[in-house]
Every structure is written in C-alpha cells, then in structure tokens.
Copies of this chain bind each other. A is one copy, B any other.
Amino acid sequence: MEPYILYYWPTIQGRGEFVRLALEEAAVPYQDVGRGRKGMPQIDAVLDAAIEAMPAFAPPVLRAGAQLIGQTTNILQFLGAKHALAPRTQEGRLWCNQLQLTIADVVAEAHDSHHPISMNLYYDDQKKEAKARAKDFRTERIPKFLGYFERVLENNPRRGGFAVGARLTYVDLSLFQLIAGLRYAFPQTMARLEPQWPRLIALHDMVAARPNIEAYLKSKRRIPFNEDGIFRRYPELDGQAPASLSARR
C-alpha cells in the first residue's frame, strides 16, 4: 500500500491532530506534507477544483491511494474501519461517528471562543467579544459537553474504560486530544472542573500511556500547542467565574 498523505497546516495541531493520532496509534506510514518543503502549494492543490475532481473545502485532507478524503470525522471514519480503530458492526460505527461529530462540535466552539466574530480578523480585533463568548464556553458549554462524554463512558457496559465497546477506537484518541487541548487553553477552568469527570480523565491518561501515542507525544512530530491553533492559552479567556453576563440572565 502506498503511504497515506496528510495535508494539513504545518505549524499547528488543529483538526489535523485528530487524524495524526489515529495514524500514529495504528502505526501506519504517512507523509505529513504540510510540514515538508513545498507543503503549502500541495495543500492549495487539494483544495483546487481545477486540479482535483473532488476538492476539499478545507484541510485536513487525506490521500489514500486514488481517494482524496476531506473533513476530519469523515477521515476518521475511513481510518477507523480500515485500521481496527472502530467497531465492526454498523451500529457501533454509527455510534462512534455520532460521538466524533459531537467532539467536532465542541472543538468548533473552542475555536470560536477566541474568534467569535470572524476567522479573518485577528484575536486582538475581537478580544472583547471573545471574553464574552469564552465565559459562556467555560461556564455552560464545557460542562455540558464533558458531562455528556463522562456519562457516555459511564454507560458503556463493557470493561476497559473506552468510549465504545471493549477496545480502543478513534473516539478515545479524540477525547484524549480534547482534554489535552482544553487543559492547555483553559488551565484554571479545567483544574476546577476536572474532578467531575473521573472517567474522562482516566481515559485521557490511558491513551497518553499507550506505547505508540506516548512515543508520538515525545517526538518532534507532535507540534506543541500554540496561539495559532484551535486551543489557545489566553489567560483573559480562562478568567475567574461570574459577574457581568450571568447577571443579565
């Protein structure tokens, strides 16, 4: 099999990281072209309808032989089925995809916590609005989403602490990344809230300790979190609780 080719921005984890974690856990060879020389023109090309019959709207994009696959959850569905990172049954696969889509929703909201007005403006140009949105994200959305995932773990009748069934799936890898990202961006908030989600934190630790993931996280292939990515550490967005907005409700 030809190695997969991953097309993603070279300087951030971003949504590409969910794909990288699946590829690393499965130990399948892949070329992370964005990080190589001439990476950017290659990314531009997979988005170009004049070049590709089925262009993607945005990275990440995965080339698998003749197939070009866009959208993070779609790529993970493909990789999960191919590399035993998803259940075999249709019901199990739909459930994995449903959970991954819900992870994608909270990831999009994490992004919008620092860019609530426009992704075409700098953070500093929407900082005031970001403070208001981040407050809602910290106080309403993080607890709602992570509380949901904690209950999903609790409801899984199989042993092992995984999200779905008795084996690791790509959903577990993505939940690890979600926790890691939220901890990076909202350290105070997460320190305060985490005790509510013991199963999620245990899953995070279990994924981090898997040999392939542990090796990856220590490697240069893991780009550090930074303030160009989805999860950004702006202390003013991690602020102390209540006051202005909640008084208006």
Contact, CB under 8 Å: B105 / A117:
no
Interface 1/0s, chain A 74-99, versus B by CB < 8 A? Answer: 10011000000000000100110110
Contact, CB under 8 Å: B151 / A129:
no
| Known contacts A49-B151, A155-B54: A120-B145 contact under CB 8 Å | no
| Known contacts A102-B57, A125-B248, A155-B53: A120-B97 contact under CB 8 Å | no
Is A136 located at the chain interface by the 8 A CB criterion? yes
Using Cβ atoms and an 8 Å threshold, which residues of chain B touch A152? 49, 54-55
Interface 1/0s, chain A 180-209, versus B by CB < 8 A? Answer: 000000000000000000000000000000
A95→B74 CA distance, assembly (Å): 9
Identify the interface centre among A57, A120, A148: most chain B CB within 10 Å of its CB: A57
Interfacial residues of chain A within 130-162, with CB under 8 A of chain B in the complex? 132-133, 136, 140, 145, 148, 151-152, 154-155, 157
Is A14 located at the chain interface by the 8 A CB criterion? no
A152→B49 CA distance, assembly (Å): 7
Contact, CB under 8 Å: B74 / A121:
no
Using Cβ atoms and an 8 Å threshold, which residues of chain B touch A98? 54, 56, 69-71, 74
A105→B56 CA distance, assembly (Å): 13
Contact, CB under 8 Å: A116 / B94:
no
Is A249 located at the chain interface by the 8 A CB criterion? yes
A121→B244 CA distance, assembly (Å): 13
| Known contacts A57-B148, A70-B98, A74-B97: A49-B155 contact under CB 8 Å | yes
| Known contacts A74-B97, A77-B97, A97-B77: A121-B249 contact under CB 8 Å | yes
A148→B56 CA distance, assembly (Å): 9
Using Cβ atoms and an 8 Å threshold, which residues of chain B touch A49? 148, 151-152, 154-155
Contact, CB under 8 Å: B118 / A94:
no
Contact, CB under 8 Å: B249 / A120:
yes
Interfacial residues of chain A within 36-74, with CB under 8 A of chain B in the complex? 49, 53-57, 67, 69-71, 73-74
Is A166 located at the chain interface by the 8 A CB criterion? no
What are some 25 contacts across the A-B interface (CB < 8 A)? A49-B152, A54-B98, A54-B155, A55-B152, A57-B148, A67-B91, A69-B94, A69-B98, A70-B98, A71-B97, A73-B101, A74-B94, A74-B101, A108-B108, A112-B112, A116-B133, A117-B132, A117-B133, A118-B133, A120-B136, A120-B140, A121-B136, A121-B245, A126-B132, A129-B129
